[in-house]
Chain A
Amino acid sequence: MDVGQMQRQWIDYAKSLFLEGFLDGQFLQLQQLQDENNPDFVVEVVSLFFEDSERLLKDLTFALDQNGVDFKKVDAHVHQLKGSSSSIGAQRVKNACIAFRNFCEEQNTDACLRCLQQVKQEYCLVKNKLETLFRLEQQIVAAGGSIPTELSFSG
């Protein structure tokens, strides 16, 4: 595959992530912040997000496993996860967190457990997608090309 083909593949893949709702405009903002002085910014921020999320998901699993669930704590964790997923544009994770918080308010353990599953699922999906995207980027750079900076959408 030549560089041009790889770049087109990257563009198509990136576009699909937006069209399928995995990523939103905030991710584009992050990409725009990346430049020659900070060439790894997006990967760095996303890696931080992965670290934070994994910790929070563990904490949430633990908190919901208790006999007397501390919903305030659960809500605080979900709020944090909502914040960081929103910061990198992980839209589906963010939306799952919003639903989760509603059930925290109702103090509904079963519903919260279902939401946690949903959040974990969305997190795994977006993690895989982003890792694939970054792999494609690495291939382009290794072949001497540059990552396209403009993702234009028709309509």
Chain B
Amino acid sequence: MEDERRDKDKHATESDNSRTQLKVLIVDDDKVVRLTHKMLLDRVGVKDHVAVENGKEAVELHNNGQSFDLILMDKDMPVMNGIEATRTLRSMGVSCKIIGVSTSTSNKIYVQEFVEAGLDDFYTKPLTVQILGEILEKIKS
């Protein structure tokens, strides 16, 4: 069912109910960003979300058998950054949507490297309700 007003996202609609079944992983070293992205996900109807602090923790979750429908991957993190984590996850056979999120857009070479590591898409931080809505719509289709 098409919801033309899905950008508003103030009420749960039929199309939003399917989002409650999605599982999302947030990978970011910044507490503020993790909390904000969690709230954004709640707002767009995703209740099942996990947040970790760096790429290594994201890889470990997958090694322990967890899987997700969407990964929001920050680029610059200590221990293991987003580029390395994305590459590792892809080489492990992780095929879900991985969206790169970063503030550093000025360096196009790094962005390219990040995308080539295996991202499905890239957005600048911070994400908004609208952008997250678009990302989730793409997953459903």
Contact = CB atoms under 8 A, between A and B. Distances in A.
Given A33-B39, A38-B39, A41-B39, A84 B128 contact: no
Given A83-B30, A84-B30, A44 B129 contact: no
A49 B34 CA distance: 12
Nearest to A38: B39
A49 B128 contact: no
Interface string B28-71: 01111101100110110000000000000000000000000000
Nearest to B37: A87
6 contacts: A33-B42, A52-B30, A76-B78, A80-B29, A83-B33, A87-B30
A76 B104 CA distance: 12
Interface of A: 26, 29-30, 32-33, 38, 41, 44-45, 48-49, 52, 76, 79-80, 82-84, 86-88
A86 B125 contact: yes
B30 A30 contact: no
Contacts of A32: 129
A29 B128 contact: yes
Given A29-B128, A30-B36, A87-B32, 14 more contacts: A33-B40, A45-B35, A48-B35, A52-B31, A79-B76, A83-B32, A83-B33, A83-B125, A84-B30, A84-B32, A84-B33, A87-B30, A88-B32, A88-B36
Interface of B: 29-33, 35-36, 39-40, 42-43, 76, 78, 103-104, 125-126, 128-129
Nearest to B29: A80
Contacts of B128: 29
A140 to B, nearest CB: 22
B48 to A, nearest CB: 17
Given A45-B32, A52-B31, A26 B39 contact: no
A79 B30 CA distance: 11
A57 to B, nearest CB: 15
A76 B76 CA distance: 9
Nearest to B40: A33
B53 to A, nearest CB: 12
B76 A44 contact: no
A52 B43 contact: no
A37 B116 CA distance: 40
Contacts of A29: 126, 128-129
Given A83-B125, A87-B125, A33 B32 contact: no
**Closest CB pairs A-B (n = 10):** A84-B32, A33-B39, A87-B32, A87-B126, A87-B33, A48-B32, A83-B30, A84-B30, A49-B32, A48-B31
B35 to A, nearest CB: 6
A33 to B, nearest CB: 5
